[in-house]
Every structure is written in C-alpha cells, then in structure tokens.
Amino acid sequence: MKYRYSYDTAIGRLTIMADETAIIRISLGEVPDSGSALQETSLIARTYKEIEEYLKGERKEFDIPITLSGTPFQLQVWKELQNIPYGKTCSYSELAERVGHKGSCRAIGNANRHNPILLLVPCHRVIAQDGSLAGYAGGSHIKRKLLKMEKEKTNVQ
C-alpha cells in the first residue's frame, strides 16, 4: 500500500509519499495519486519533522529510509547526490565525472530533474560550472534559499 500526505513548509507545500517501509517520493505541491491513500503515517510524519528541522537549520542529515526507483543511470546519479556534503555544492560536470560519465552534463541534469525524493536526495546542491544555480524543480528561488541556509549554518559551526 502507498500513502501520501501534504504539508505547508518554509519552501511551499510538500507532498510526502511512502510505502510500508520507506519514503518513495517527496514533491513540491499537492500531488494527487489515485494509487495512494491520503493518510499521515508515522513514517511520513517523522519525515516531515526531519524536513522542518532541516529547513530551520537544525538538521544536516536525514535518518529516513528511502526507496528510489529509476533507470540504472538515474539510480547511480541519485546515489552520488547523497554524497555531496551539507553546505557544499558540485557542478553538473563534476557529478558526471564522479559517476563515470564525463561530459554527460545534460544527462546529469535530466536525472536531477527526475529526482523523486527532494531534499533527502539533495539535487539542489548541484550547480553550473560557472557557479550559477541552473535549474531546480521548485524554482531557482528555492534552490538559492536552501543553499544559502546550508552555507550559513555550516559557517556558524
């Protein structure tokens, strides 16, 4: 069985989806899904609590089980995204090199665009080689806000 529940957060409305054992999707906005029940499970509530702590700058890592579904390439990219430390960024080209696909910046961008678990799989930490923000599913204003918050909290400690 799949479950979903939505919350208002500092970056807008988030919908968190889970199965019985793991988070399977975190999306910006309300996400109606006829294949899931509208129910706040304990795992969904715990995920929301950790996201709220993160957005307040009180949490740097998540302790939530996730299940990612995608192509082998997407899974490889999403796994590598989880290795980018809090408060740090890397470029699309650096990420392409890390996954062994040098020069595949567009493919990396496409995998990021399809990241099903925002925040927990931190695609917002990937920027253009020139330091510009490039794209983000929630818009560049949210990406800028997340990166600024992480940088400030990293510099404080």
Statement: residue 33 has pLDDT above 80? no
Q: At what angle do helices 72-81 and 105-113 cross, to 10 degrees?
A: 80
The domain limits of the chain are 3-55, 72-156
Burial bucket for residue 73 (CB in 10 Å: 0-12, 13-18, 19+):
middle
Of the two residues 135 and 17, the one the predictor is more confident about is: 17
Statement: residue 157 has pLDDT above 70? no
Quickly count: other Cβ atoms within 10 Å of residue 96's Cβ: 22
CA angle (86 as vertex; 82, 87 as ends), nearest 5: 135
Tens digits of residue pLDDT in 67-126: 999 999 999 999 999 999 999 999 999 999 999 999 899 999 999 999 999 999 999 999
> Residue 25 — φ and ψ, nearest 5°?
-165, 140
20 within 8 A of 14, measured Cβ to Cβ? no
Residue 30: the pLDDT is 83
Q: From the candidates 123, 126, 146, 147, which is the catalytic residue? A: 123
pLDDT (average), residues 59-67: 96
> Residue 136 — φ and ψ, nearest 5°?
-160, 140
Instruction: Judge whether 123 counts as a catalytic residue.
Output: yes
Residue 4 to residue 76: CA distance in whole angstroms: 26
Residue 31: the pLDDT is 81
- CATH architecture of residue range(s) 72-156: Orthogonal Bundle (1.10)
Tens digits of residue pLDDT in 36-54: 999 999 999 999 999 999 9
Tens digits of residue pLDDT in 141-154: 899 999 999 998 88
Residue 67: the pLDDT is 98
DSSP bridge pairs for 75: none
Closest CA to 143 of 105, 97, 101, 112: 112
